[in-house]
């Protein structure tokens, strides 16, 4: 694999509803939706529900991984995806819009870096 074929995407969303950020099933579903939209392939998943609140979840992909971490008390969520299938700007915008819609927030920061 050539080094330039690796892409890392990070997304931070804020002002997200507490209940949604504490819903492990919905967050896992969101990761699967992002994976499908990106044309990536899910292999395995892991989820951890923290007490009193918060969720960390990850999907192992044949192309690498995607993970989510939430802080419901602050209304903040962080999504990180690394993939050897480089996604174009249109696909990245579609992912950003999907996350904004699923989390019901306009407060989204997305950063992309080719490695």
Q: Spell out, as residue ranges, where the chain has pLDDT lower than 50.
A: 1-3
**Catalytic residue selected from 8, 42, 56, 84:** 84
Question: 108-114 and 55-61: which strand pairing?
Answer: unpaired
- Specify whether 48 is catalytic: no
Domain coverage including residue 82 = 3-114
Domain count, the chain: 1
- Rounded Cα gap, residues 66 and 34, in angstroms: 9
Work out whether the CA dihedral 103, 85, 10, 94 comes out positive or negative: negative
pTM of the complete model? 0.91
Q: For position 4, what pLDDT does the model report?
A: 57
Q: What is the pLDDT of residues 65-92, one digit of tens each?
A: 999 999 999 999 999 999 999 999 999 9
- Specify whether 69 is catalytic: yes
- Specify whether 64 is catalytic: yes
**Catalytic residue selected from 8, 14, 45, 64:** 64
CATH at 25: 3.60.90.10
User: What proportion of the chain, given as a percentage, has pLDDT over 70?
Assistant: 97
């Amino acid at each position: 694999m050539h080094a330039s074929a690796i892409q890392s995407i990070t997304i931070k969303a804020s002002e997200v509803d507490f209940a949604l950020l504490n819903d492990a099933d919905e967050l896992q579903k969101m990761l699967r939706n992002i994976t499908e939209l990106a044309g990536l392939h899910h292999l395995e998943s892991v989820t951890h529900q923290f007490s009193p609140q918060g969720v960390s979840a990850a999907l192992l992909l044949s192309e690498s991984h995607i993970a989510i971490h939430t802080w419901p008390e602050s209304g903040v969520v962080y999504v990180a995806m690394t993939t050897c299938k480089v996604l174009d700007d249109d696909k990245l915008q579609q992912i950003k819009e999907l996350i904004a819609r699923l989390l019901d927030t306009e407060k989204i920061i997305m950063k992309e870096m080719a490695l």
